[in-house]
Amino acid sequence: MDDGGMDDGVPPTAAERRSAGPGPVVRHCGPLPLLAVGLLCALGAFAVQEWWQAAGALLVQLLCVPLVVGDVRAAARRLLPLGLAALSVGWSTILGGDSPEPLWTALTATLRLLVLVLPGSLLLGWLDPAEAGDHLAQRLRVPGRVVVAAVVALGRLDTLADSWEQVAAARRVRGSGPGRGPLSRVRWSASTAFGLLVDAVRRAGRVSVAMDARGFAAQTAGRRSWALPAPWRRADTVLLLTGTAVAAVPLLLRLVG
């Protein structure tokens, strides 16, 4: 196990650059434990059957938030869609469910969604696509073409907000801006989302052609080298063990209950 020391002449990895600055404890961790903990917590949410189990699991997750969140405003923006989705699930459960206790059922569904998505939403904010590719290839021996495709896809997530602004600005310039009413804004957002989807497909096509032109589809691509080392640190082990314990809380509460 490597504790993360830098070799002479080798640029620092993303985790080493993060560790040099201030921030929460999770900044010392690499991408694999971030992905693993997000996945484990999502799987653990399926053990939730009652609202109090979800509430207990969510409480434990919230106690761990200071270890993960560095920028409160950025975290709030990241969690805003999750909050809206959870409220939507709860509201639709009340309106369309056939449970004899619709309020408790809706509360359970809402809390279960929060338990399912909250850890991954916060942890993925620390994920560097290029670093993730290095670790997937060198630590997990994932095939090179899969790694490159995953890196490209993760990199595109960071540009979605910019793409949205570009598509929205282009539509406004063409006289297709939203009206003042909420229904008009919903329609405008839906049509803008369709434009964003078309733009994403076009960008994916261009990236695919560029990757083929650079030999990513060649048979020799499996022997390619990678950008930086992929060390496994003590912080990675600590995060993985802590995340496993947090992910097991719903199952433990179910067994106790």
Average the pLDDT over each of 2-6, 76-80, 81-85, 158-162 and give the range with the smallest value.
Answer: 2-6
**How far apart, in whole angstroms, are the C-alpha atoms of residue 5 and residue 233?**
9
**How far apart, in whole angstroms, are the C-alpha atoms of residue 61 and residue 41?**
9
pLDDT digits (tens, 9 = 90+) for 159-202: 776 777 787 788 778 777 777 666 777 777 778 888 878 877 77
Phi-psi region of 175 (alpha: psi -120 to 50; beta: other; left: phi over 0): left
Average the pLDDT over each of 68-72, 155-159, 217-221 and give the range with the smallest value.
Answer: 217-221
Residue ranges of domains in the chain:
29-130+232-256, 142-214
**How far apart, in whole angstroms, are the C-alpha atoms of residue 131 and residue 226?**
10
Where residue 133 falls among pLDDT bands split at 50, 70, 90? confident
DSSP, collapsed to helix, strand or coil, labels residue 199 as helix
pTM for the whole thing?
0.74
The distance of Cα 35 from the centroid of its chain, to the nearest Å, equals 8
Residue pair 125/82 in contact (Cβ under 8 Å)? The answer is no
